[in-house]
Chain A
C-alpha cells in the first residue's frame, strides 16, 4: 500500500510539473526547435549535427526578444506586463482597503440583514463576466474608460470585493473583541481602536487577502479581452491576441513570457501555502 501511495503521488507530480518543465525548455529554444517533429529535450551548448537528435542548442534569445513588438500588438511583452502589474497592484490595494472596512463592519456591529448582505456579496462572484460585460462596456464608453488602466482597476476592485470581504471577515472574527474594548476603555475612539489595535493584528490576514486578490486580477481574461482589447492590454489578453499571428506563433517567446508571467504566482503560492485553502474557498474553510 505504501508503494502504491508513493507511486500515485509521484505520477501526479510528473503530470503537474511536466508542462511547466517543458515550458522552461521551450523558452530556451529557437522557434524551429519548438515545432521540430523530433522532440528536443536536452539543452546543450552547441547545435547538434544530427537534426533528429533529442538535444538542442540552448539560447536566451527568446528572453531578449520579449522586448520585440509583434505584428498586431502595440507594445512588447514588457509593456503589457507593466499594465498587468499596475492594474493588479492598485486594484488589490483598493479591494483590501474597502474589503477590510466592510468586513470589520460586519464582524463587530449588528446590522439589519447582515447575513443576506454577506451572501449577496458572495454571490456576485458567481456571475459569468460575459453576462455583465456589455452594460459595463456601454457604461465605460460613456465615461471614456474603455481601454484604460483606470477602467480595469475599478472593475477588478469590485470583482475582488467578494473575496476580500469574506476572507477578511474570517480573519477579523478571530481577533478577540477584548483588544478593542481595552482600547476603548483607555480613551481611544472606535476609529482609533480600529486603526491602532485591530489593523496591526489583522496584518497577516490582509497580506493573504492581498495575494489572492492580486492573483485573481493577474489571471483575469474575460473582462480584460472585451474591455481592454486596444489599450492597457494585460498579459493574458495580449498572449491570446497572438493567436492566428501571420508570422506563426512565436512559441519560444510565448514560453519565455509565460514563465516570467507565472513566476511571481508560483512564488506567492509558496508564500501563502498555509492559507491556500482558506483563500481559495473565500474563507469558508479555515485551516
Chain B
C-alpha cells in the first residue's frame, strides 16, 4: 500500500499542480503587489513610487466616500439577499405543489440569472427611462405619477436593486426548490396523521428542513452581491454618490483618478472583508458536506 502511494504521489501532484500554481500566481501576486503599493503614492500612468506611510489607509478610514460605499454595499447585499430569498421561496413553494407545464415554466423562470448583467443592465435603461420607458408609460396609463427611476437621487439605488432582484430571484427559487424536494413525503404524511395545522407543518417541518440549503443560497448570493459592479456601471456609472458600491468606487479611484496607491489600500481593506466572508462560507460548506446534508 505504502509503495503504491509513493509511486502515485508524483502523478497526483502533476495532476493538481498546474491548476494550483496558476491560482496561487494570480492571487498571491496581486495580493503582494497591493500590499506593497498601498503604502506608496503609485499612479496608474508612470511615475516613481514614493512611500507615504499609512496615509492611504488613513484616508480610507477617514474619508466619508469609503464609509459611504461600504454602507451602501452592505445595504445592497442585505436587501438583495432578503428580497430574493423571500420571493424565491414563495415561488418555490408555489411551483413545488405542481403547476401546469412545470418543467417548461421552471426553465423559462431561470433564464434571467444566466444573462450578462452588463448587457441586461444597459438594456434596463431603456425599460426604466423616466420619459419614454415602457414601465412609466404603463404606470401613467394606470393613473400613477411616474417616478424617475434612473435619475432621482433617492430612487436610483433601489432601481438597481430591482434589476438585481429580477436577475437573481430565480437562483434562490432553484435552491429553495431543491430543499423542498429533498424533504421526504413520509414526514408530511406523519404530520397529516397527527393532524398538524398547515402553518405548524410549515414552521416545524418545511422551514427547518430547508434551512441548510437556504443558508448556502444566502451565502452564495451575499458573496456575489458584495462584488456588485456591472449593474451600477450600466445604470449610473462609477461616480454617482447615490449608488457607489465598493467595486465601482474602486474603479473610480484607480481608473478615473489614477490613484493606484489609494486604490490598493482600499483593496486590502475590502480583501479583509472578503476573506472573512469566504471563511464563514467555506466552513459552512464543509459542515454541510461532512454531515451529508447536500448529498
Residues in A lying within 8 Å of B, measured CB to CB: 2, 4-6, 8-9, 12-13, 15-17, 19-20, 22-23, 26, 34-39, 41, 98-99, 101-102, 104-106, 108-111, 115, 117, 119-136, 138-139, 155, 157-158, 161-162, 165, 190-191, 215, 218-219, 221-222, 225-226, 235-237, 239-240, 242-243, 249, 251, 254-255, 258, 261-262, 265-266, 268-270, 273, 276-277, 280-281, 284-287
Can you list 21 A-B contacts (CB < 8 A)?
A6-B100, A8-B90, A13-B108, A23-B123, A38-B137, A121-B20, A124-B23, A126-B274, A131-B250, A134-B33, A161-B22, A239-B122, A240-B234, A255-B123, A255-B126, A258-B122, A262-B119, A265-B114, A269-B114, A281-B220, A285-B213
Are A134 and B260 closer than 8 Å at their CB atoms?
yes
Q: B116 contacts which of A39, A109, A162, A219 (Cβ < 8 Å)?
A: A219
Cβ-defined partner of B15 (8 Å) among A20, A104, A273, A277:
A104
Closest partner residue, chain B, to A166 (CB atom): B285
Q: Are A240 and B118 in contact (CB under 8 A)?
A: yes
The CA-CA distance from A242 to B33 in the complex, in Å, is: 33
Q: Main secondary structure on chain B at its contact with chain A?
A: helix
Whether B175 contacts A222 by the Cβ 8 Å rule is: no
Interface SS of A by simple majority: helix
Question: Using an 8 Å CB-CB cutoff, how does the interface string of B1-45 with A read, 1 for contact, 0 for none?
Answer: 000010011011111101110110011011101100100000010
On whether the beta carbons of B16 and A35 are closer than 8 Å, the reply is: no
Q: Which stretch of B59-67, B151-159, B184-192, B263-271 is in the interface?
A: B263-271
Q: Determine if A269 and B174 form an interchain contact, defined as CB atoms under 8 angstroms apart.
A: no
Measured CA separation A286–B274 after assembly (Å): 26
CB-contacts of B242-282 with A (<8 A): 246-247, 250-251, 254-255, 260, 263-264, 267, 270-271, 274-275, 277-278, 281-282
Complex-state Cα separation, A161 to B21, whole angstroms: 11
- Beyond A8-B94, A127-B27, A280-B174, 10 additional contacts (C-beta under 8 Å) are A5-B94, A12-B109, A16-B111, A34-B126, A115-B286, A130-B247, A139-B29, A219-B117, A273-B103, A281-B175
**A115 CA to B286 CA, complexed, in Å:** 9
B82 close to chain A: CB less than 8 A: no
Q: Is B295 an interface residue (CB 8 A)?
A: yes
User: B residues within 8 Å of A by Cβ?
Assistant: 5, 8-9, 11-16, 18-20, 22-23, 26-27, 29-31, 33-34, 37, 44, 87, 90-91, 93-95, 97, 99-100, 103, 105-120, 122-127, 129, 131-132, 134, 137-138, 166, 169-171, 174-175, 178, 181, 213, 216, 220, 223, 226-227, 229-230, 233-234, 237, 246-247, 250-251, 254-255, 260, 263-264, 267, 270-271, 274-275, 277-278, 281-282, 285-286, 288-289, 294-295
Question: In the bound complex, what is the Cα–Cα distance between A241 and B211 (angstroms)?
Answer: 42
Cβ-neighbour of A285 out of B115, B132, B230, B294 (below 8 A): B294
Decide if A130 touches B250 in the complex (CB within 8 Å): yes
Bound-state CA distance A280–B112 (Å) is: 13
A243, chain B: closest CB distance, angstroms: 7
Candidates B14, B123, B216; contact of A258 at CB < 8 Å: B123
Residues of B within 8 A of A287 (CB): 178, 181
Output the least CB separation between A253 and chain B (Å).
12
**Contact present for A221 and B282 (CB under 8 Å):** no
Report Cα–Cα, A285/B131, bound state, in Å: 44
A117 lies within 8 A of B16 (CB): yes
Query: Are the CB atoms of B282 and A105 closer together than 8 Å?
Result: no
A134 touches B263 (CB 8 A): yes
Tell whether, in the assembled complex, residue B123 and residue A254 are in contact, meaning their CB atoms are under 8 Å apart.
yes
Q: Does the CB pair B277–A215 fall under 8 Å?
A: no
Please pick, from A12, A132, A249, the residue contacting B30 in the complex, using a CB distance under 8 A.
A132
Q: Are B282 and A128 in contact (CB under 8 A)?
A: no
Q: Is the CB of B115 within 8 A of A276?
A: no
Return the contact of A221 from the options B97, B127, B138, B230 (Cβ within 8 A).
B230
The answer to whether A102 and B109 have CB atoms under 8 Å apart is no
The answer on a CB contact under 8 Å between A132 and B250 is no
* Chain A residue at smallest Cβ distance from B238: A130
Instruction: Give the shortest distance, in Å, between A168 (CB) and chain B (any CB).
Output: 11
Which listed residue, A16, A138, A240, A262, touches B108 by the CB 8 Å rule?
A16
Residues of A within 8 A of B94 (CB): 4-6, 8-9
Shortest A283–chain B CB gap in Å is: 9
Is B22 a contact partner of A5 (Cβ separation < 8 A)? Answer: no
Residues in B whose Cβ lies below 8 Å from that of A17: 108, 111
Residues on B with C-beta less than 8 A from A215 are 114
Known: A98-B22, A165-B19. A13 touches B109 (CB 8 A): yes
